[in-house]
Structures are given as structure tokens and as C-alpha cells.
Amino acid sequence: MRPAIALAIISLLTVLMAVVGVALVTVLAATGLFEDAEWGQDLLGGQGFAVRLIAVMLLSLAVIAVTVGTKLAAAILGIIVVIKGDGKLRIGASLLLAVALMGLFFSFSMDGSMLSGTFESVLSVLATLAQLVQWGVSLAGIVILGLGIREVRRARAGYALDLR
């Protein structure tokens, strides 16, 4: 039961981190903060450049480590729940395991400078749709896993009442 609960929590945190990341990028792009030429020159040049560069690199490495760590933890917990669980626990864990493994071993990227406008737009829409499907499958897996956890708790509570 504990691996199933941990899997649900980690998967929910992974989805929330992805949604917050997309929202943050969208807000930063809409405000045009990174498009200011003076801001870029101030960041990349001047006094303290090495410290800022190291800080950005360490922050990037931390984000990568947390992302890979949560996906790896979700994959391991998913395998444990698929093996030990049954019914809805197994179905929910299978969905979450599939999402974790897809995100851990596969990625999608494109270089806009090499693509034409229409083709780039189509690939951008497909990438967005793939991300939405991934979030949808993750949320469906979390819901099904939660229903399975509730079933197991009710069954255990009923079994405990029968023993009295």
C-alpha cells in the first residue's frame, strides 16, 4: 500500500511541476522579459559574470536532477505496484509507469531555424498535444490508483471489523 501512495504523490508532484514550468515559460514569453537586449548584456557581461554563470548552471543541474529523480522513482514504484498490486492498483500503476518510462527514455525536440513556418507550426501543435495526452494519462493513472488505494483501505477496514 505504501508504494502505491508514494507513486500517486510523486506522480502528482511531477504533473504539477510540469504544469508550473509550462505556465512560467508562457508568462515569461508573454511579458517579453528575455527579449530585452540590455537585460541580456547585463546578464552575460560585466562584473560577477562567472558567479551568475555558475549559479545558472547549478540551478539547471538541480532541475534536471529533480526531474530525472522523480521519473526514476515513479518508474521503480510503478514496477513494485504492478507486481504486488491487483485490480485498479495495477491499472493505475501501469498507466503511471508508462508515462514515467516514456518521459525518462524518450523526448521530442525541434530546431526552428531548420524548419519552414507551416511545418514548424504543425510540429509545435503536435508537441503540445503530446504533452497534454501525457498529462491526461498521468491524471487518469493517479485517479485510478487513488480509487484502488481506497478499495484496498475499505477492504482492510472491513476485514478488521470481521475479526472483532
How far apart are the C-alpha atoms of 50 and 20, rounded to whole Å?
Answer: 29
pTM score, whole prediction: 0.71
The answer to whether 132 and 163 are in contact (CB under 8 A) is no
Exposure pattern of 41-71 as b/e (b: 16+ CB <10 Å)? eeeeeeeeeeeeeeeeeeeeeeeeeebeebb
How far apart are the C-alpha atoms of 135 and 16, rounded to whole Å?
Answer: 9
How far apart are the C-alpha atoms of 144 and 88, rounded to whole Å?
Answer: 6
Tens digits of pLDDT across the chain (164 residues): 888 999 899 988 888 888 888 787 788 777 765 565 455 555 555 666 677 678 778 888 888 888 888 888 888 999 999 999 888 999 999 998 888 888 666 666 655 555 567 777 777 788 788 888 888 998 999 999 999 999 988 888 887 666 66
